[in-house]
Amino acid sequence: MTAPQTESLRDSKSNLLEAAHAAIQDQEEKLDAERAARMAATGRRRRVGLLGTVGLAGVILLLLQPPWLAGPKALPAEPPPVAAASMRLTLLRERDRVWAYQRQHGRLPASIAEAGGSVTGITLSARPEGAFALTGETADSIITLRSDESLSAFLGQSLRAVRNRGRE
């Protein structure tokens, strides 16, 4: 064997070795890419599973509406003095509406609703000489406000009852 033949054998062996290294590296890269794809798919499945679980828990909480989350179903009843005071203040507001209607139209309205009131349970009754009375009912009492009744006489201790609610 001569020198050129030996060199060409070495070149071909080197080429084969490089080709083998390239094939092995290519195969490792493909395996790494497959592993990364599998891990990404697993991560996505986990995220979707977690989001599904959280969503299901949210729907269950929405349907059940536990008191610790949604709060009480209804407000607690006001104590009788506070309820009466609130009704007195409501009657005063409605009396102002009736007066405004009477000034604008020159007559009493047929009902509180005609005067623009939206509170139910209050009745309006006409009295002689353009006077009127408003009557409202609370849990334990019936309260009547006459159009000629003074503010201080009608309210009495009502403002103090409203101001002190929750402190008793």
pLDDT at 57: 92
Do both 156 and 91 map to the same domain?
Answer: yes
Q: Domain of 138?
A: 80-163
Q: In this structure, how many other beta carbons lie within 10 angstroms of the beta carbon of residue 95?
A: 21
- What is the rounded CA–CA span in Å between residue 114 and residue 70? 37
Do both 101 and 132 map to the same domain?
Answer: yes
Do both 84 and 159 map to the same domain?
Answer: yes
Averages of pLDDT over runs of 10 residues in the chain (168 residues) are: 59 81 87 82 85 93 86 80 85 91 90 84 85 88 88 77 68
Do both 2 and 29 map to the same domain?
Answer: yes
Whether the CB-CB separation of 136 and 121 falls below 8 Å is answered with: yes
Residues in the chain: 168
pLDDT at 134: 92
- What is the rounded CA–CA span in Å between residue 98 and residue 89? 14
